[in-house]
Amino acid sequence: MEDKKKKNSKKNIEKKSEKKVKKQSKKNVNIEEVTKKISKSAPINKKNLKKDDKEKKTIKTNNNFGLFEYIILIVIVALIFSLAGYFIGRRADYGNDNYSTATKEIQKFIEEYNYILENYYGDIDKDELITNAIKGMLSSLDEYSGFVGEDSNNFSITLKGEYEGLGIGIINDLNNDIIIATVYPNSPASTVGLKENDKIIKFNDTDIIGMSTSELVDKISNTEDIKLTILRNNEELNFQLKKEKVIIESVHSETKENNIGYIKVDIFAENTYSQFKEALESLENNGMKSLIIDLRGNSGGHLSAVEDMLSLFMNNKHIIYQTEDKNGVEKIYSKGNKDKEYKIVILQDLGSASASEIMASSLREQLGAYIIGNTSYGKGTIQSLQTISGLGQYKVTTKKWLTSNGEWINGNGIVPDLEVSLTSDYIQNPTLDNDAQYQAAIKYLNENA
């Protein structure tokens, strides 16, 4: 019985194994049939197989990338994206329309510039061509934008507050003669006795009749030992001079009756603040009870100087003035610690402009200062100075300034609280005794002390 059972079990195992083999063979047949069908519809290209093998090899090689290669790859990708972002950002900041317009305009300029260079019949000074092109652009802007020429040299020296020279300011009169208009204190000119209204007729024994002021300035700049022959009251006088460092005094002060302080500010130069601070402290230490600030004929200067000067009068809660440009309005605050409590009078005239108007308006709006004289000039814009290598400098209006209360006085000026004009007596004999505006200030302070 046991042998029969064993035989039956063996048969069963053999039958099962035969079934498995048959099933497996059916599967193999099916795969072969499918492969045949595919090969009939799209024959396999041996070249493609070779290509696939190469790609597989490449993939295998890339899979063997080292750490160093991955780092290099990441750095390169990051650099590409950062550069792309930079240029896209620059273009986005400028604005697509403005960017394309500017590019077209610049291209147009370059085309015309090259055409002129290639086709003009004569010789061309390229620097002069570019300079005149910039002058043309500036001339289409406002009256304060333009090249800084030789005639601005004296003004630049004055704004600097010091220079190497003789200590004289010169002008050409109606007859084109050179006249000494200013003699600075503590200068070589004042030491030897040169005076205002002296006519300079010779430079180092050479006749200079008909010479321009800029030509004489060049001669003085390039000469160490200088001899000037001047005409004074129809008498020829000779003066031997050497150039020295000249400090231009733009602030003059004194104490008047009833402890009224008086400070005259000619211009807002680089060293005006230090001179003004010293003068104000001296007056206050001497018991000053009220103050006259004379800004007549002061055409302006450095904004930093007037900001520092105003900070001597008011604490940092006060707005000195405001600026406005394409990015909006900015408020400029005082940097001071406390408010002055004494009465202040400002003297101004038509020649008071720009920084002078900032000072006058700020002291009136913030501290209640009283303005006497004539309506000021009305210059409510700010210029920036640009230097072109080898070609010079030009200034362009970049902002407008507003008073501390936000008023734009451009073209209108600051109207005084008390309108007073100078008399003919003062014009003939300019002294403080004949000065109607100054006397009106004294009267106001005496009555309102």
Closest by Cα among 272, 273, 445 to 344: 445
Per-state percent for the chain, helix, strand, coil, to nearest 5: 45, 25, 30
E-strand ranges in 152-250 read 162-165, 168-172, 178-183, 199-203, 206-207, 225-232, 235-242, 244-247
Alpha carbon distance 404, 126 (integer Å): 46
The CATH number corresponding to 164-247 among 2.30.290.10, 3.30.465.10, 1.10.10.60, 2.30.42.10 equals 2.30.42.10
Angle between the N-to-C axes of helices 272-285 and 303-310, in degrees from 0 to 180, rounded to the nearest 10: 20
372 pLDDT higher than 80: yes
For the chain, the structural domain boundaries read: 2-62, 164-247, 251-448
* Tens digit of each residue's pLDDT (9 = 90 or more) over 411-446: 999 999 999 999 988 888 888 889 999 999 999 999
Tell me what pLDDT residue 444 has: 97
* Tens digit of each residue's pLDDT (9 = 90 or more) over 303-314: 999 999 999 999
Please enumerate, as own/partner, the contacts of 389-393 that have beta carbons within 8 Å and a separation of 24 or more.
390/127, 391/127, 391/130, 391/131, 391/134, 392/131, 392/147, 392/148, 392/149, 393/147, 393/148
203 pLDDT higher than 50: yes
List the structure tokens of 36: 């045949």
257 pLDDT higher than 50: yes
List the structure tokens of 37: 């069908």
The H-assigned helical ranges of 63-95 are: 67-94
Percent of the chain with pLDDT over 90: 43
The CATH number corresponding to 251-448 among 3.90.226.10, 3.40.50.720, 3.40.50.1260, 3.30.70.20 equals 3.90.226.10
Residue 172, exposed/middle/buried by CB under 10 A (0-12, 13-18, 19+)?
middle
Tell me what pLDDT residue 221 has: 82
Closest by Cα among 258, 265, 255, 292 to 351: 265
pLDDT confidence bin for 155, thresholds 50/70/90? low
Question: For residues 349 and 2, which has the higher predicted lDDT (pLDDT)?
Answer: 349
Please enumerate, as own/partner, the contacts of 76-82 that have beta carbons within 8 Å and a separation of 24 or more.
none
pLDDT confidence bin for 392, thresholds 50/70/90? confident
With a threshold of 0.75, does the pTM exceed it? no
Instruction: Give the count of beta carbons closer than 10 Å to the beta carbon of residue 154.
Output: 18
Tell me what pLDDT residue 415 has: 98
From 38-42, 225-229, 373-377, the region with the lowest mean pLDDT: 38-42
Alpha carbon distance 211, 216 (integer Å): 7
Angle between the N-to-C axes of helices 213-221 and 153-160, in degrees from 0 to 180, rounded to the nearest 10: 50
